[in-house]
Structure 1
Amino acid sequence: MSDPIPNESAGPPGFVVGGVSSDAGKTVATLAIARGLEAAGYTVQPAKAGPDFIDPSHHEALLGRPSRTLDRWLCGDDGLRRNYAHGEGDLCVVEGVMGLYDGDGSSTAKVAETLGLPVVLVVDANAGMESVGATALGFRRYAEHIDRDIEVAGIVAQRAHGGVHERGIREALPESMTYFGRIPPMDDLEIPDRHLGLEMGTETSLDSDALEEAAETLDIEGLAALARVPDPPSSVERESTDRSGRHEVTVAVADDDAFCFRYPATLERFRTLGDLVSFSPVAGDPVPACDAVYLPGGYPELHASQLAAGGTLEELGELATDGLPVLGECGGLMAMSQSLTTVDGDRYEMAGILPADVQMHERFQALDHVELVALEDTLTARRGTTLRGHEFHYSRATLREDVDARFAFEVERGTGITDDRDGLTEYRSLGTYAHVHPESGAFDRFLERLVE
């Protein structure tokens, strides 16, 4: 498709970069494609299928604009389309999650189908030629097998050499499938990883010259021509019950290397319905004047000594005791606990808001899309309301034996904190292992509670 015309209600034209597996090299391919498109004069809006926070940080580090979160489980079909539509630019490049068809809650294929966008398949060609063609053809035909409307339009060959290797891959592809180029094997195109995935884009950005070199071996204009205007959402904004517009409230959001897992749409929602200020607990910032505090997830375990010594968490604990609402997700829950113990056995005092102690483990303790049902009216939901979210953590919270702990949610799907319960509450505060998206209505409810 050439010269796609943007639809303001649907968002920019785009395509999806899917992979044959989790380690196929989707992130590097996405960044190289984006770099090539920008060099060709296109303004690129990045997006990410699934609930991830880390890959989007690399998108933003390269392009200077937040990456849109596209997850059917978190947002629903219309919410997914709304989040896409809020993007800007000439073209949108959507990085997939895991393998193209993997993920019962929200796979890359489901995201592509929901938006009606074509897929560029990233195939690791390091040790294959004809097999690359067989793999690509199999991924295209599998869509027919499961009776889904998913167009695998062509491939990018990851870790592929030129010459005979590239020619063999081209010749192996069916005539109906486009070869969009290759990503050469380069040490400068490897992103270090650790628990929870790759390092953040603010910590380790890919070498700019290496990305530019990789982009030169891609068919950038062919990729631009592939972009398609997506299916628009049925409504521009998410419907919200009992919403009277903007609230005269201020939410303070923790924002540093320890609290960096937040969806751009969440901050947008705060700015739409109230005021937002940021602060850094790692730097020891005082808690700003506010009506509530939001502690997103991240890596408090990597900055535990600074958090314990900085004074911000101690002040936050005192404010929560006096009735300031504090909402913490995953890493935020950990910071709200009594203590945090690292894998090495070092113990650090945290804010002391919630009656639990947190221990880090070498293996992950939970990884899944989650569904929570509110047992009572709480900061993010009314009693009986269902929230959908995502959990991925290496820590485990243990309740203090001398306290009658109160939980806000029953876990219908997922792990939670303990005994199919999540949402530990104390004073007017709430800590949960689940990350939720604003399409769930949780942050609308959070702001509404501040003015009730």
Structure 2
Amino acid sequence: MKGFVIAGTASGVGKTVATLTAIRALSAAGYTVQPAKGGPDFIDPSHHTAVAGRASRTLDPWLCGEAGMRRNYYRGEGDICIVEGMMGLYDGETSTARVAELLDLPVVLVCDASAGMESVAASALGFREYAAHAGVDIDVVGIIAGRAHGGRHERGIREALPDSLSYFGRIPPLDGLEIPERHLGLHMGGESPIDLSILDEAAAHLDADALAALARAPPRPDPAEPRPATGTRVAVARDGAFCFRYPATIERLQERAEVVPFSPIRGDALPECDGVYLPGGYPELHAAALADSPALETLAERASEGLAVLGVCGGLMALAESLTTVEGERYDMAGVLPADIEMCERYQALDHVELRAREDTLSARKDESLRGHEFHYSSAAVGSDARFAFDVERGAGIDGEHDGLSEYRTLGTYTHVHAESGAFDRFCEAL
């Protein structure tokens, strides 16, 4: 599958809107588009999925490893993969430029053109030439002019570009193209989708065939060793409180076990199962429903009897004793893990993470290393008898030094991990 990367000069220049517009433009031109996201993110991919009609892939060398990232790329299906980058093109240790280099994909740069013409070209040329200084082998092939008007404004940008940079079109400053923000990111695609008719209006200003022509295929990695099914049954929470799931995670669980979805906030009962996976999400927005959830009540009983339960970020919060919102309202949660969770006005952790297992646990064996990422607005006050499964070698974890609260056969962690980490294979094999 051929592809290309849509990168930005900085955060906030409109990469997500440009990506969604490009998806619509190529789809209208008859191409089947596979969306993807560079870096650890759940929110932008939810918008990709809503617009493309297929799950967006996560491409992050820290989470997946280089070979794992390429495998995840090729698990997608379509004529062309559009990879939305993170932050600015060169920002961060595992930057968009690094992802583009490892996948050998060309880069289309989104430039905010709302207040410039020749300066837009100068900025784009600087980003192209900076690759050599940064020591990355990437090809910045051209630009999409964000928030650009037509007529003289567009002609000025196009004519100012050097021959080494192509002009692929513009994103006009249309009402309705903005996505509301929450928690340093955007609302989920299912909550605040952009009207498709507005995206189509913007897509008419992109050259879909020129974008398709620049795409190329990354080298194929060696396949992963096949893993046998375990014959177990895993219940996976899936609703607004538990909506942060990588497609590859669910795929891996389905390869190793029978997966049964349920919704704690809609009053579903906990299915009969050998293990439970509670992903991240927004439990703070559904705290009242969770407090009354029969599934969480049953989960607490089953956990005390030895049912294997893995909770990640929002899942950790739901497994705690209580959850207090930023408005100061306290709600009882499942009460499996000895912690009280409090929501904060500012984020408490945002980084790639590396953990070292202190003992055999549901997602790793003793002394194994796990790489993941953390991003949360809550803090956890843990009990004096708390037991931790991991030492934090990079990141914040739960208390700055540890992550992975453990009780019975329940594990709750702030760290999101990808299927390529092996954590979900270990989980299925432990059931």
Q: State the TM-score, normalizing by the size of structure 1.
A: 0.94
The percent of aligned pairs where both chains have the same amino acid is 67
Deviation at 1:335, TM superposition (A): 0.3
Q: Which amino acid aligns with 2:116?
A: G
Question: 1:156: which partner in 2?
Answer: 144
Output the CA distance in 2 between the equivalents of 1:305 and 1:195: 20
Output the CA distance in 2 between the equivalents of 1:98 and 1:359: 28
Tell me whether 1:113 sits opposite 2:101 in the alignment.
Answer: yes
Q: Which amino acid aligns with 1:39?
A: A
Deviation at 1:199, TM superposition (A): 0.3
Q: Which amino acid aligns with 1:443?
A: F
Tell me whether 1:445 sits opposite 2:430 in the alignment.
Answer: no
Output the CA distance in 2 between the equivalents of 1:170 and 1:446: 53
1:290-337 Cα shifts (integer Å, max 9, x gaps): 100000000000000111122221111111111111100000000000
Question: 1:27: which partner in 2?
Answer: 16
Deviation at 1:193, TM superposition (A): 0.8
Q: Which amino acid aligns with 1:282?
A: I
Question: 2:412: which partner in 1?
Answer: 431
Deviation at 1:196, TM superposition (A): 4.3
Question: 2:120: which partner in 1?
Answer: 132
Question: 2:398: which partner in 1?
Answer: 417
Q: Which runs of 5+ in 1 are unaligned?
A: 1-11
384, 388, 393: which one pairs with 2:367? 384
Is the deviation greater in 143-152 or in 408-417?
A: 143-152
Output the CA distance in 2 between the equivalents of 1:110 and 1:199: 27
Distance 1:196 1:319, change over 3 A: farther
Deviation at 1:349, TM superposition (A): 0.4
Deviation at 1:147, TM superposition (A): 2.4
Note the 1:193-232 alignment, pairs <5 A: 193-232=181-220
Please give the secondary structure, in 1, of the residue aligned with 2:364.
coil
Q: State the TM-score, normalizing by the size of structure 2.
A: 0.99
Q: Which amino acid aligns with 1:148?
A: V
Please give the secondary structure, in 2, of the residue aligned with 1:230.
coil
Q: Which amino acid aligns with 1:130?
A: E
Question: 1:39: which partner in 2?
Answer: 28
Note the 1:274-285 alignment, pairs <5 A: 274-285=257-268
Note the 1:16-415 alignment, pairs <5 A: 16-104=5-93, 106-233=94-221, 235-237=222-224, 239=225, 245-401=228-384, 404-415=385-396
Is the deviation greater in 299-308 or in 189-198?
A: 189-198
1:9-53 Cα shifts (integer Å, max 9, x gaps): xxx100000000110100000000000111111100000000100
Q: Which runs of 5+ in 2 are unaligned?
A: none
Output the CA distance in 1 between the equivalents of 2:66 and 2:293: 43
Question: 1:6: which partner in 2?
Answer: none
Deviation at 1:400, TM superposition (A): 2.2
> Do the aligned residues in 2 keep the contact of 1:114 with 1:231 (CA within 8 Å)?
no
Is the deviation greater in 310-319 or in 271-280?
A: 310-319
Is the deviation greater in 357-366 or in 171-180?
A: 171-180
> Do the aligned residues in 2 keep the contact of 1:69 with 1:83 (CA within 8 Å)?
yes
> Do the aligned residues in 2 keep the contact of 1:343 with 1:362 (CA within 8 Å)?
yes
Output the CA distance in 1 between the equivalents of 2:355 and 2:267: 33
Deviation at 1:248, TM superposition (A): 0.4
Q: Which amino acid aligns with 1:31?
A: L
Length, aligned pairs only: 431
Q: Which 4+ stretches in 1 moved above 2 angstroms? A: none
Output the CA distance in 2 between the equivalents of 1:166 and 1:40: 23
> Do the aligned residues in 2 keep the contact of 1:196 with 1:393 (CA within 8 Å)?
no
1:414-441 Cα shifts (integer Å, max 9, x gaps): 0000140000000001000000001000
Deviation at 1:405, TM superposition (A): 1.0
Q: Which amino acid aligns with 2:13?
A: A
